[in-house]
A = this chain, B = another copy of it.
């Protein structure tokens, strides 16, 4: 019994939602080998083994996983929403090189704390930070 399964079960139970087979399959797929994914890729992956899990259910399950604190919507690319794990991963931010496209993941705790404090001034309750920057990495700057 892995932790993320337990977290999801607890979340479902708490909200009077049911632990169904499709939800199990989707959860497993999400945590199988992706740190980063979109619904389409997830569907392809799941569909190879479980042809009876529909796209609709995957779309419906994403908000639950987000609410449960297991994943978050991380970025939009190719006109699609992308998601990433939160559970088991430290919060991080992305430094994206405009030249080579490489993505550096940096520790974001300090920045997030500052952002939390700032939000307080607006009486805004943060549930999810999205922090990043674009520029040039060491190599591309020459």
Contact = CB atoms under 8 A, between A and B. Distances in A.
Contacts of A119: 95, 106, 133, 135
A121 B105 CA distance: 12
Contacts of A29: none
A103 B14 CA distance: 30
Given A115-B131, A119-B95, A124 B104 contact: yes
A138 B123 contact: yes
A98 B129 CA distance: 12
**A interface: dominant SS:** strand
Interface of A: 76, 93, 95, 97-98, 104, 106-107, 110-111, 114-115, 118-119, 121-138, 141
A121 B93 CA distance: 14
Contacts of A115: 93, 111, 131, 133
Contact of A126 (B111, B122, B123, B135): B135
A129 B133 contact: yes
State the 4 A-B residue pairs at the shortest beta-carbon distance, nearest first: A123-B138, A126-B135, A127-B135, A126-B133
Contact of A128 (B114, B130, B135, B138): B135
A94 to B, nearest CB: 9
